[in-house]
């Protein structure tokens, strides 16, 4: 780490008087606001305190955003793209500081913290190009001298509820696209990682101010699920984009659905890599270990299950055991370490509980887990990555434990492996490691993976912003980021224009007066 944390906090305007909400130029909080200390899982030290917004403050933010939408939507999309371009530049300038704070507040490695900010920069670039597209279709009318086309208009307020594990990137995937589409955004970050959100709000706010853009286009509300629930039930918020656990997604989907609003859900995964008898085992090892141990197993795309062909099972298991022996665990700001802490001590308890449940169901640990003790691990959030041999149907294997526990499952035939890979409630990311074309194509076919992401000779973890990101089944069905994911932030309108001198009806219907 090159800069002391204190300098980084000053640079990013993080201090103990941070307010509970921001409408862009205004920050505020009430005197009796709930205050929460934000503690780093890396060293257990308090970084800063935040205040939670009240329902009244939430309401103020929504009213400001509603007003801002009326002017923001009038600005031509490429001009909105220009603002997003400047935000991308500002993120480039602040990459080191913001990336370090992501690492310190959330506990992911410094490289991953920088990577997360890079993802934000990438989506800004993507959104700038998109701002000159946003195209609809034209189609031929069955009536003479008529023209038909469809166009996209902005929706209004987009509510963004985000999870702790990608504390800033998920907001940018939503906000940058929503902004070029002409929407305004209200962000409710995870209550576990609000400081990086405050930093992002300052960065965006400075750009909006510099361009004399009304307040209310970029809003932030700090709070827990109460704010998320207000947003989900709020008819003034036409789209709620929610990233987090399947439990949360079901609640958001029910509330938004009850008012016939739109929701974009990015929920839990239970991702597997199939390692076939034709796999390059060295390549597979890198994909598997990074997928299981990266971000301490706290990615929605983390590799949780390895489905390995019986002919290479023992050899690959030995390679894994030997690789796990070399993993360095410790301060994520130290670039020599491979794995940092879990987000908090509750997450450690859930991890320990899952190990016990796995053993109770018959799981055999070939690399033992456990909590790490000692001065270097004084935050109480560090654990050992572990590996267990299991059956796919175990209750604990069907469940997403957000921690570095890797399950090994043996298979004999590819269709059986695909069935095992699909045989969980979640459907986010999946991969096959093989040099056999038939195996690869089978995995990608209609009879193959049922996930939103299916890779060949790449692990399950991580994705490029150019593709649409998201998953099926209990992952929620949403798509964010690249490709045509922007369409969810807009409403579609079909237009028919008659430039003839008569009024012919469709389907040849006659209505003579």
Active site residues: 266
Contact between 452 and ligand NAD by CB under 6 A: the answer reads no
Contact between 483 and ligand NAD by CB under 6 A: the answer reads no
Task: Find the shortest distance in angstroms from Cβ 53 to ligand NAD.
Answer: 12
Contact between 234 and ligand NAD by CB under 6 A: the answer reads no
Contact between 244 and ligand NAD by CB under 6 A: the answer reads yes
One character per residue 259-278, x = contact with ligand NAD (rule: CB under 6 A): -------xxxx---------
Tokens coding 217: 């286009």
Contact between 191 and ligand NAD by CB under 6 A: the answer reads yes
Contact between 472 and ligand NAD by CB under 6 A: the answer reads no
Task: Find the shortest distance in angstroms from Cβ 116 to ligand NAD.
Answer: 11
Residues 6+ apart with CB under 8 A from 81: 127, 128, 129, 130, 131, 132, 180
Nearer to ligand NAD, 244 or 261 (CB): 244
Answer for the pair 236, 211: CB distance below 8 angstroms, yes or no: no
Nearer to ligand NAD, 39 or 440 (CB): 39
Closest C-alpha to 473, from 303, 265, 298, 304: 265
Q: What is the CA radius of gyration of the chain?
A: 24
State whether the Cα torsion 462-457-429-370 is positive or negative: negative
Contact between 475 and ligand NAD by CB under 6 A: the answer reads yes
**CA distances in angstroms from 388 to 206, 303, 355, 361, 382, listed in the order given:** 49, 13, 9, 11, 19
Contact between 229 and ligand NAD by CB under 6 A: the answer reads yes
Q: Which residue is closest to ligand NAD by CB?
A: 228
Contact pick of 117, 185, 300, 358 for ligand NAD (by CB under 6 A): 300
Nearer to ligand NAD, 185 or 248 (CB): 248
Tokens coding 221: 């509300």
Contact pick of 166, 324, 394, 486 for ligand NAD (by CB under 6 A): 166
Answer for the pair 266, 170: CB distance below 8 angstroms, yes or no: yes
Applying CB under 6 A, which part among 44-52, 238-246, 280-288, 370-378 lies near ligand NAD? 238-246
Contact between 474 and ligand NAD by CB under 6 A: the answer reads no
Answer for the pair 203, 94: CB distance below 8 angstroms, yes or no: yes
Task: Find the shortest distance in angstroms from Cβ 322 to ligand NAD.
Answer: 29
3-state SS record for 50-111? EECCCHHHHHHHHHHHHHHHHHHCCCCHHHHHHHHHHHHHHHHHCHHHHHHHHHHHHCCCHH
Answer for the pair 35, 49: CB distance below 8 angstroms, yes or no: yes
Separation CA 397–CA 47 (nearest Å)? 35
Tokens coding 6: 């204190």
Answer for the pair 158, 178: CB distance below 8 angstroms, yes or no: yes
Contact between 243 and ligand NAD by CB under 6 A: the answer reads yes
Q: Vertex 382, ends 381 and 387: CA angle to 5°? A: 125
- Contact set for ligand NAD, span 398-427 (CB under 6 A): 400, 402
Residues 6+ apart with CB under 8 A from 282: none
Contact pick of 49, 251, 352, 372 for ligand NAD (by CB under 6 A): 251
Task: Find the shortest distance in angstroms from Cβ 71 to ligand NAD.
Answer: 29
Nearer to ligand NAD, 312 or 396 (CB): 396
Contact between 331 and ligand NAD by CB under 6 A: the answer reads no
The partner residues of 152 in beta bridges, in order of sequence, read 492
| Angle between the N-to-C axes of helices 246-258 and 225-232, in degrees from 0 to 180, rounded to the nearest 10 | 30
Nearer to ligand NAD, 91 or 252 (CB): 252
Nearer to ligand NAD, 52 or 411 (CB): 52
Contact pick of 224, 344, 361, 419 for ligand NAD (by CB under 6 A): 224
Chain positions contacting ligand NAD, by CB under 6 A: 161-166, 188, 190-191, 224-225, 228-229, 232, 243-245, 248, 251-252, 266-269, 300, 400, 402, 428, 475
């Amino acid at each position: 780490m090159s800069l002391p944390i204190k300098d980084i906090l000053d640079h990013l305007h993080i201090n103990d008087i941070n307010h509970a909400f921001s409408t862009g130029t205004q920050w505020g909080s009430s005197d009796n606001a709930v205050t929460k200390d934000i503690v780093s899982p890396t060293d257990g030290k308090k970084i800063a305190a935040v205040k939670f917004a009240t329902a009244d403050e939430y309401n103020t933010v929504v009213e400001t955003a509603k007003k801002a939408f009326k002017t923001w939507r009038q600005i031509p999309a490429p001009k909105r793209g220009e603002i997003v371009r400047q935000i991308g530049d500002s993120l480039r300038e602040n990459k080191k500081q913001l990336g370090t704070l992501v690492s310190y507040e959330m506990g992911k490695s410094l490289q991953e913290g920088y990577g997360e900010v890079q993802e934000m920069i990438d989506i800004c670039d993507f959104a700038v190009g998109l701002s000159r597209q946003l195209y609809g279709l034209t189609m031929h009318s069955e009536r003479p001298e008529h023209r038909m086309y469809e166009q996209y208009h902005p929706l209004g307020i987009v509510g963004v509820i985000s999870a702790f594990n990608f504390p800033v990137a998920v907001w940018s995937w939503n906000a940058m696209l929503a902004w070029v589409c002409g929407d305004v955004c209200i962000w409710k970050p995870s209550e576990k990682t609000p400081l990086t959100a405050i930093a992002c709000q300052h960065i965006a706010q400075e750009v909006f101010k510099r361009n004399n853009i009304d307040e209310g286009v970029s809003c932030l509300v700090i709070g827990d699920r109460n704010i998320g629930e207000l947003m989900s039930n709020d008819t003034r918020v036409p789209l709620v984009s929610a990233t987090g656990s399947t439990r949360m997604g079901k609640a958001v989907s029910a509330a938004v659905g009850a008012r016939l609003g739109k929701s974009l859900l990015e929920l839990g995964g239970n991702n597997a890599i199939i390692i076939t008898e034709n796999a390059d085992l060295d390549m597979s090892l890198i994909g598997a270990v990074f997928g299981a141990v990266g971000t301490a197993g706290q990615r929605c795309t983390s590799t949780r299950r390895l489905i390995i062909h019986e002919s290479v099972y023992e050899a690959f298991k030995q390679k894994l055991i030997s690789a796990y022996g070399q993993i360095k665990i410790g301060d994520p700001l130290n670039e020599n370490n491979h794995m940092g802490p879990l987000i908090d001590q509750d997450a450690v308890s859930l991890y320990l509980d899952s190990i016990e449940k796995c053993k109770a169901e018959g799981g055999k640990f070939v690399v033992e887990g456990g909590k790490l003790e000692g001065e270097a691990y004084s935050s109480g959030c560090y654990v050992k990555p572990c590996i267990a041999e299991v059956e796919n149907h175990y209750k604990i294997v069907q469940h997403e434990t957000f921690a570095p526990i890797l399950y090994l499952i043996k298979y004999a035939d590819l269709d059986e492996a695909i069935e095992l890979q699909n045989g969980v409630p979640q459907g986010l990311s999946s991969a096959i490691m093989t040099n056999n074309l038939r195996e690869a194509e089978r995995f990608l076919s209609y009879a193959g993976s049922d996930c939103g992401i299916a890779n060949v000779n790449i692990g399950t973890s991580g994705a490029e912003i150019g593709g649409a990101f998201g998953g099926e089944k209990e992952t929620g069905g949403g798509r964010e980021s690249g490709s045509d994911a922007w369409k969810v932030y807009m409403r579609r309108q079909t237009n028919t224009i008659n430039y003839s001198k008569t009024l012919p009806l469709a389907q040849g219907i006659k209505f003579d007066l």
